[in-house]
Amino acid sequence: MRLFALAVYLFLYVPIAVIAVFAFNGGRSATQLQGFSVQWFGRALSNPFVVDAFRTSLTVALASATLATVFGTMAALVLPQARPRLRAAFDALIYVAVMVPGIVIGIATLIALVTVFGWVNPVLAAVWPGEAPPQLGLGYGSLIAAHGLFALALVVLLVRARVAGMDRSLVEASADLGATPWGTFRQVTLPQIFPGILAGFLLAFTFSFDDFIIAFFVAGPQTTLPIYVFSSIRRGVTPEINAIGAMVLAASLTLLVVAQLLLRRGTSRARG
Amino acid sequence: MQQSPLQDMDAPIAEFRAVTKRFGAVVAAEGLDLAIRRGEFLSFLGPSGCGKTTALRMLAGFEEPSEGEVLLDGQRVDGLPAHRRPVNMVFQHYALFPHMGVADNIAYGLRQRRPRPSGAEIARAVDRALETVRLEGYGGRRIWELSGGQQQRVALARAIVNEPKLLLLDEPMAALDRKLRRDMQIELQGLQRSLGITFVLVTHDQEEALSMSDRIVIMRGGRIVQVGSPRDLYDAPRDRYVADFVGKSNFFPGRIEGADGAEARLAVAGGQVIAGRPRRAFSEGQAAVASIRPEQVALLRPGQGVGLPVRVLTGIFLGEHTEYLVRHEDLGEFLAHVPRQAEAAQGRFAPGDEAIAAWPEGAALILGDD
């Protein structure tokens, strides 16, 4: 049994470790170690396509995580007060959003957006007073929207757990002491659920930054980092890809650890 | 929170007028009419679900009455949200803000005021409040570093620092152990006298209500059964429910044999008749109950007096008196409290002893049995 578990872990993590190790390869091969070097990190960071893809990914991740956090937190705060039927429906939808495979979300979002654009663009062209009417198309907007919607579900789940764990009488105590509803939110509710919000933001950010499948469908002309990696693999794997992979992995792991630490600290405090 | 000079000091500080509160189909409080006097210590007493907490929450503004009016210092406050009512509450589990220190918790109410008091004013008020609850020097502590009793004092300080017109206490001792509870009761009572703030307490603990309150409101099934001083309720309970809830009592059910204004005669089991003061008008043949407090029942050695022959079942030593459970052939089991001096004079009774149980004339109350 223990051996079996070990095998599973090896199977899961050895390839990842190999990627990280080969990022430090001295030679050009992605399968044979030829000395130690950090040159591939330098190459990756000086490649304008990589930098550009990195910037796109960062922008999309920041924007979608921010949107998801703001709206997800609002939803998490209001849902417990909704009528039971309505709440159950929303809960189900949120779980569905988390469980539906990325490829389905990707295709569905693509079809939906293209259809909407097909409707809206002619109308815009007809009513636009100037010469060149704006054309709605895939790109930053669609990436942010698709990632934001998926991440919203994650944020709602995380923040709701905090809201549920919060002592309801704290809100009453605050009101009793003369705080307006906004004052109560700012001084009591927000500090209480903040670890959940932050963890939600970080998870949303990591999700968007790493996502390939949804991004592949809705990116349009934009190239995110995972899309770049995928397309360059088709031209043969070099340790440059490994270096990019290792950097993304390190960044994601750091964020996840930070999120976990914040969540844990938050809960032990609330109990204490 | 200044008192208007025109305000009549005899006018009630708070009032319920025909207040009913429903939650869906459940009636939590029904037809409450009550005037709370300025500066008194009032307790709502009853079992859980009797509506006492709902009444308190309607004063705080956490619940709105379905019908009727709630007045505070002569002004209607129903419909006014909690944060605009000059009342403060000590919550059952204190509800202290865990992300703030002790001083910030206490300063919270003052910081919500507009215009906001200066930092120095707030600091002074916080220190004064800490001193009042005997926690000088604890301002810098975190909430989770405090014991239960200390947390309760902080909750109290956080409320009284605002000088509320009413201080509402929702089962504040429920989480404390017995010894601490007793100390806190004495302290709360002293605090109430020295601050002159009207305290409204909700409790299911009759001892707590009896020891602290100027007046007690007994509730049952969402209705007020009786309002009175602890002494009134103990000596002149309105019905069996009140007599049972306030102090211990022996109850002997029976049928009214004859009644005038001053005395009613109740035929109880085995052809016995108990005469007592009726607490309401009775007609002949009506079901009623005789209530006799255990401390009014004297136990004598056989041949030393006239009374009911009983057999002693158990004796529990309770310090100032011994509680004997005795059994009479017709009346069944009942309690007698024998004070220490009486025991010293005639010796203790052992289980199985024969004894004579007697009570003075007028000790029995004839109550409605409902």
DSSP codes, A54-65: HHHHHHHHHHHH
What is the CATH number for B81?
A: 3.40.50.300
Tell me what the pLDDT averaged over chain A comes to. 87
Predicted local distance difference test score (pLDDT) of residue B35: 96
Establish if B26 belongs to a structural domain: yes
d(CA A61, CA A129): 35
Establish if B6 belongs to a structural domain: no
pLDDT of residue B130 exceeding 60: yes
Chain A neighbors of B97, CB-CB under 8 A:
170, 173-174, 188
d(CA A121, CA B125): 65
Average pLDDT over residues A249-263: 82
Spell out the SS3 assignment of B134-173: CCCCCCCCEHHHCCHHHHHHHHHHHHHCCCCCEEEEECCC
The residue with tokens 């009413």 is B166
Average pLDDT over residues B25-50: 94
Establish if B68 belongs to a structural domain: yes
pLDDT of residue B89 exceeding 90: yes
Domain end position, chosen among B235, B270, B289 = B235
Token readout for B276 is: 């007592």
Average pLDDT over residues B150-179: 92
d(CA B21, CA B35): 18
Of A232, A257, A252, A253, the closest CA to residue A242 belongs to A232
pLDDT of residue A131 exceeding 70: yes
Those residues with Cβ within 8 angstroms of residue B369's Cβ, 6 or more apart along the chain or in another chain:
B239, B240, B253, B287, B288, B289
pLDDT of residue B229 exceeding 90: yes
In angstroms, what CA-CA distances link A51 with A65, A130, A230, B367?
A: 21, 36, 15, 90
Chain B neighbors of A176, CB-CB under 8 A:
60-62, 82-83, 87-89
CB pair distance less than 8 Å for A172 and B95: yes
Predicted local distance difference test score (pLDDT) of residue B1: 45
Residue range(s) defining the domain that contains residue B222: 14-235
Distance from CA of A155 to the nearest CA of B (A): 22
Domains of chain A by range and CATH?
Answer: 48-271 (1.10.3720.10)
d(CA B291, CA B289): 6
Average pLDDT over residues B205-231: 94
Whether residue B229 is found in the same domain as residue B326: no
Whether residue B214 is found in the same domain as residue B342: no
Whether residue B226 is found in the same domain as residue B133: yes
Tell me what the pLDDT averaged over chain B comes to. 92
Q: Sorting pLDDT into bands at 50, 70 and 90, what band is A244?
A: confident
Average pLDDT over residues A265-270: 54
Whether residue B356 is found in the same domain as residue B320: yes
How does A71-96 read in b/e, with b if 16+ C-beta sit within 10 Å? bbbebbbebeeeeeeeeeeeeeebee
Predicted local distance difference test score (pLDDT) of residue A272: 36
pLDDT of residue A52 exceeding 70: yes
CB pair distance less than 8 Å for A177 and B88: yes
Chain B neighbors of A177, CB-CB under 8 A:
83, 88, 108-109, 112, 158-159, 162
Whether residue B302 is found in the same domain as residue B225: no
d(CA B77, CA B80): 5
pLDDT of residue B197 exceeding 90: yes
How many distinct structural domains can be found in chain B?
A: 2
Q: Cβ(B28)–Cβ(B222) under 8 Å?
A: yes
Q: Cβ(B204)–Cβ(B47) under 8 Å?
A: yes
The SS3 call for residue B192 is: helix
Neighbours of A128 (CB within 10 A): 11
Amino acid (1-letter code) at residue B222: G
Give me the phi and psi of A68, to 5 degrees please. Answer: -60, -40
| Minimum Cα–Cα distance from B142: chain A residue | A272
Distance from CA of A178 to the nearest CA of B (A): 4
Predicted local distance difference test score (pLDDT) of residue A271: 43
Establish if B265 belongs to a structural domain: yes
A151-210 residues touching B, CB cutoff 8 A: 167, 169-170, 172-181, 183-184, 187-188, 191-192
Give me the percent of chain B exceeding a pLDDT of 90: 76
Work out how many CB contacts closer than 8 A connect A with B. 70
Say which range, A33-42, A167-176, B309-318, has the weakest mean pLDDT.
A33-42
Establish if B354 belongs to a structural domain: yes
The answer to whether residue A42 neighbours chain B at the CB level (below 8 Å) is no
Whether residue B175 is found in the same domain as residue B36: yes
Predicted local distance difference test score (pLDDT) of residue A186: 94
Of A85, A206, A209, the closest CA to residue A155 belongs to A206
Q: Which is higher by pLDDT, B22 or B176?
A: B22
pLDDT of residue A163 exceeding 60: yes
Give me the percent of chain A exceeding a pLDDT of 70: 96
| Highest mean pLDDT pick, A34-38, A126-130, B55-59, B170-174 | B55-59
| Highest mean pLDDT pick, A128-137, A151-160, B253-262 | A151-160
CB pair distance less than 8 Å for A178 and B99: no
CB pair distance less than 8 Å for B108 and A187: yes
Domain end position, chosen among B177, B210, B235 = B235
pLDDT of residue A218 exceeding 50: yes
Token readout for B25 is: 């189909």
Predicted local distance difference test score (pLDDT) of residue A270: 46
Q: Cβ(A226)–Cβ(A212) under 8 Å?
A: yes
d(CA B367, CA A225): 85
Say which range, A161-170, A245-254, B63-72, has the weakest mean pLDDT.
A245-254
Predicted local distance difference test score (pLDDT) of residue A247: 86
pLDDT of residue A268 exceeding 70: no
Amino acid (1-letter code) at residue A129: P
Whether residue B194 is found in the same domain as residue B224: yes
Establish if B243 belongs to a structural domain: no
In angstroms, what CA-CA distances link A113 with A57, A97, A118?
A: 20, 17, 8
Whether residue B206 is found in the same domain as residue B337: no
| pLDDT tens track for B287-327 | 999 999 999 999 999 988 888 999 999 999 988 899 999 99
Look at the alpha carbons of B131, B133, B137, B141 in this order and tell me if their dihedral is positive or negative: negative
Of B338, B329, B324, B337, the closest CA to residue B310 belongs to B329
Q: Cβ(A98)–Cβ(A154) under 8 Å?
A: yes
Whether residue B214 is found in the same domain as residue B296: no
Q: What string of DSSP letters covers B200-219? A: EEEES-HHHHHHH-SEEEEE
Whether residue B36 is found in the same domain as residue B85: yes
Say which range, A240-254, B1-15, B238-252, B271-285, has the weakest mean pLDDT.
B1-15
pLDDT of residue B62 exceeding 80: yes
Predicted local distance difference test score (pLDDT) of residue B113: 93
Q: Which is higher by pLDDT, B287 or A268?
A: B287
Of A95, A192, A103, the closest CA to residue A152 belongs to A95
What is the CATH number for B314?
A: 2.40.50.100
Whether residue B262 is found in the same domain as residue B227: no
| pLDDT tens track for A71-116 | 999 999 998 888 999 999 998 999 888 888 888 988 998 999 889 8
Token readout for B352 is: 């199985």
Domain end position, chosen among B173, B204, B235 = B235
Q: Cβ(B350)–Cβ(B308) under 8 Å?
A: no
pLDDT of residue B5 exceeding 60: no
Establish if B216 belongs to a structural domain: yes
pLDDT of residue B7 exceeding 60: no
Give me the phi and psi of B273, to 5 degrees please. Answer: -125, 130
Establish if B4 belongs to a structural domain: no
Whether residue B269 is found in the same domain as residue B208: no
pLDDT of residue B145 exceeding 80: yes
Chain B neighbors of A272, CB-CB under 8 A:
98, 142, 144
